Amino acid sequence: MSPERIIDLRSDTVTLPKEEMIEAIRHAPLGDSIMGEDPTVNLLEKKAAELLGMEAALLVTSGTMANQIALMSLCQRGEEVLMGEDSHIFTLEGAAAAAVAQVQIRTIEVPDGKYDVSKIESNINVGDIQRPKTSLICLENTYNLNKGQIVTLENMKEIRAVSRKHNIPVYLDGARLFNASVELGVAPADICKEVDAVQFCLTKGLGCPIGSILAGSKEFIEKAVLNRQRLGGGMRQAGIIAAPAIYALDHMIDRLSEDHQKASRLAKRLAAIDGIRMEDVQTNIASIELLREDWNSQLLIEFLSTKGIKVKNIGENRVRMVVHYQITDEDIDRVVNAFEEFASVFSMKSTV
Ligand SMILES: *Cc1c(COP(=O)(O)O)cnc(C)c1O
């Protein structure tokens, strides 16, 4: 209907590779990466390890694969892993923790992206043979893919102290790690200092077409290489995946703050509309709740789609919008206008 271009706010995973990325792919030296001979993959893994302050890093095909490899490498079958109840590993990986890594998950609430350290500690079991043995604490930062909440460095340090006390490793699902580090003004390596292993997604705000980076100690990555192979994740000329990733590490991290500013501006303007409540926006994710009883997500999504705007349905009265590098200031204006029109059209229509 609309001649205007589509504004896709469903996720930052919809981002397309930049022209510079395609160009980087075209010129990347390639080799067999299972044999360790792809120079572009080797360079990416070295750069990523340095950036994260970890001994070693490994390119894998997805965040889900990185997470499952981490579980397989840090836990034994039948052991228990603690994590927040909204964690991607628990909610959105097709129960791979049970079906593939064969660990049991125990969840705790993480209100507003703050982990309750006493709750973590009280759920740790290491001695009782009838209870599952706790072998890993999994954090997520930013936390909750519908909220993008920042876990503070102080909170991570507290968790680190508990993990040391009980000799249990900490893994960070840092799918959006750089959104946290840019917003906190803290180097990624300073965040990763508080964990034993970490993954970040190349495919979200960084705009790459494929891939995640898993990082940790040399010993951890040796296990991870084997587990990646077992999952069929060993790749050959994977330099075509690594080349845009190298571009992303050099050019796509610092600019994430622009996404945060746009998300925050969007949220402020939408919050001014009667009948809409905004979740607190900390990074690039803005979720809204529709407060009027005669409104619902489906109604809103259908209306927005006639304006060329896509948002994600995350509940009967809730939708999510994620800002990424392809979203411009003009797009934000168009989105706000569309919401205002929605509010006025559907206020007038509603009769008692
Ligand atoms: C997107 C995401 C993942 C999974 O990444 P895929 O590459 O889609 O498998 C894992 N954890 C979090 C927190 C994510 O947002």
pLDDT band for position 4 (50/70/90)? confident
The model's pTM is 0.96
Residue 36: left (phi > 0), alpha (psi -120 to 50), or beta? left
Question: What confidence tens digit (pLDDT) does each residue in 43-100 have?
Answer: 999 999 999 999 999 999 999 999 999 999 999 999 999 999 999 999 999 999 999 9
Cα(76)–Cα(328) distance, integer angstroms:
47
What is the Å distance from ligand 1's center to 241 Cα?
17
- The residue whose CA has the least distance to atom 14 of ligand 1 is 175
> Does the C-beta of 140 come closer than 6 Å to ligand 1?
yes
pLDDT (tens digit per residue) in 219-276:
999 999 999 999 999 999 999 999 999 999 999 999 999 999 999 999 999 999 999 9
Calpha distance 334→272 (Å, rounded): 16
DSSP state, residue 182? H
Residue 62 Cα: closest atom of ligand 1: 7
Phi and psi at residue 278, to the nearest 5°: -100, 140
Q: Measured in angstroms, how far is the CA atom of residue 312 from the centroid of ligand 1? A: 16
- 131 pLDDT higher than 90: yes
